[in-house]
Amino acid sequence: MEITIKESESKGYAIAKEDGKTAGKMTYSKFSTSNIIIDHTEVEPEFKGQDVGKRLLIKIVEMARESELNILPLCPFAKAMFEKMSEIQDVLKK
């Protein structure tokens, strides 16, 4: 599965594709020079149970670390994953 990040001036998203088909997408907004808000996660029904959402989140966390950004997870899925996964909490907005 290939996961890429696309960004514009104030928004961005991670998209997962497999064999040319979109498996899922996680969107975020930039609300300052050092913070982003993850606001939505969507996984296509045929890819449910394959950790697509988790992979999307990990990709955004990696990007946040490289860019020295903090993440505010407003999306219920992302918020739940941050609560479960201590290894990604270093980028969590405090």
With b meaning 16 or more CB within 10 Å and e meaning fewer, what string describes 53-79? bbbbbbbbbebbeeeebebbbebebbe
Model confidence at 94: pLDDT above 90: no
DSSP state of 2: E
pLDDT at 25: 98
Question: Whole-angstrom Cα distance, residue 25 to residue 56?
Answer: 7
pLDDT given for residue 29 in this prediction: 97
pLDDT tens, 20-73? 999 999 999 999 999 999 999 999 999 999 999 999 999 999 999 999 999 999
pTM: 0.95
- Domains parsed from the chain with CATH numbers: 2-86 (3.40.630.30)
The tokens for 80 are: 């739940």
d(CA 62, CA 65): 5
Report pLDDT for 10: 93
11-27 tens-digit pLDDT: 999 999 999 999 999 99
> Among candidates 31, 20, 23, 47, which has minimal Cα distance to 11?
31
pLDDT of residue 69: 96
